Amino acid sequence: MRDRYENSTSLKTQMRVDSHGIHRWRDSDQVPCERILCRIGLTPEGLDRHASARDADLDAFAAEHLRRRGLRTPEEIAEERAADRKFH
Q: Given a cut of 80, is residue 5 above it in pLDDT?
A: no
What pLDDT is attached to residue 10? 80
In the chain, domain spans: 2-87
Q: Given a cut of 60, is residue 1 above it in pLDDT?
A: no
What pLDDT is attached to residue 18? 96
Task: Give per-residue burial for 27-53: e unless 16+ CB within 10 Å, then b.
Answer: eeeebbeeebbebeebeeebeebbeeb
Kindly report each contact of residues 11-18 with a partner whose C-beta sits within 8 Å and lies 24 or more positions away, as own/partner: 11/36, 11/39, 11/40, 12/40, 15/40
d(CA 45, CA 58) in angstroms, rounded, equals 20
Confidence of residue 31 (pLDDT cuts 50, 70, 90): very high
What pLDDT is attached to residue 8? 72
What pLDDT is attached to residue 48? 97
What pLDDT is attached to residue 3? 53
Q: State pLDDT tens for residues 54-83.
A: 999 999 999 999 999 999 999 999 999 999
What pLDDT is attached to residue 9? 79
